[in-house]
Amino acid sequence: MTLPFNLDSNLVAAALTAVGTVIGALIQLRIAWRREVSDRARGVPVTRKSRRGPVLAVFLLLVAAGLGGFALSEYLVGQSARESAKMRGELHAQVAQISAAAERLEKASLAEHGAGAHGEEDRHGNGEVSVTTIIGPCRARAAGADAAPACTEEEALRVTLCASVPASAAVTSIVLYARPDDLAQPWSESRVEPGQQAGRVRFAERSFERAESDRTKQVCTGFADWDGQHAFSARLVARLAEAPATPSAPEATQAALAPVIDERR
């Protein structure tokens, strides 16, 4: 048998005892009252023994009231304990969820920080800022029947490579690299000097600086490509006196590439 409200067995026993006592006391009072009415009707004097019935009934009522009060108190205490346990369970579940969310957020933050650190190292490793672009191959303006003739240096494709650095940074040197885009050659083996011709490409003899914003400036150089067979990768590396502080988001270090100027048009 399933007990209502999930009552404890001791509580049910107390309640049943209280109900039984109340019923017994009421029966005892009714019997005593009927006996007293009958005796008065017959003129029988009221004796001490006849008066004990109501007293016993009242005593039983008091006992029943005590048992009922105990049962009610135990019920209220049990109900409060169940509600408290339920609230504690919900609180523990919420704390566990918050802890799991905080742990995931911490892991994501660490991963993002690590990725940002690697990106910053790529841009500013050892106090360097670099920019790379790909240009060409060059096609001469006049076209033959079978193939386009080779470009001359005057017909070269030209771009300007610019790297953004903090305005207060001192640029100690600029290193230039050029290599065919389809050639898997390390950058260290592709270094060229300013103004030096490497195959059919050439960097400008002089680099220059220009203001970009209140907090950044650009270090730039020109690059010309008149090779008709291969596209070329050109790279500029600006070495700074010290590793620059990370600029704010709108002014973060970036590579700027001027539009290609085709002198044949």
Question: From first to last of its 265 residues, what are the pLDDT tens digits of the chain?
Answer: 444 455 566 667 767 777 777 777 777 777 777 777 776 677 666 566 555 656 666 676 677 777 777 777 777 777 788 888 888 888 888 888 898 888 888 888 777 655 554 444 444 445 889 999 998 788 877 655 455 567 888 888 999 999 999 998 899 999 999 999 888 888 989 999 999 998 889 999 999 999 999 999 999 999 999 988 888 999 999 999 864 454 443 433 444 444 444 444 3
pLDDT at position 47, please?
Answer: 62
Instruction: Name residue, tokens 């566990």.
Output: 96
Residue 191 corresponds to which tokens in the numbers above? 């270094």
User: What whole-number distance in Å separates Cα of residue 162 and Cα of residue 113?
Assistant: 27
pLDDT at position 77, please?
Answer: 78
Contact 32, 46 (CB under 8 A): no
Other beta carbons less than 10 A from residue 74's beta carbon = 17
User: What whole-number distance in Å separates Cα of residue 70 and Cα of residue 67?
Assistant: 5
Burial of 219-248, coded b for 16+ CB within 10 Å and e otherwise, reads bbbbbbbbbbebebbbbbbbbbeeebeebe
Report which secondary-structure segment, H or E, holds 21.
helix 9-42
User: What whole-number distance in Å separates Cα of residue 18 and Cα of residue 27?
Assistant: 14
Residues 6+ apart with CB under 8 A from 179: 185, 187, 189, 190, 232, 233
DSSP code of 259? P
pLDDT at position 29, please?
Answer: 73
Strands (E), 72-142: 128-135
Report which secondary-structure segment, H or E, holds 14.
helix 9-42
Residue type, 182: D
pLDDT at position 82, please?
Answer: 83
pLDDT at position 144, please?
Answer: 53
Residue type, 58: V
The pTM (predicted TM-score) of the whole model is: 0.44
Dihedral pair phi/psi, residue 32, rounded to 5°: -65, -40
Other beta carbons less than 10 A from residue 98's beta carbon = 10
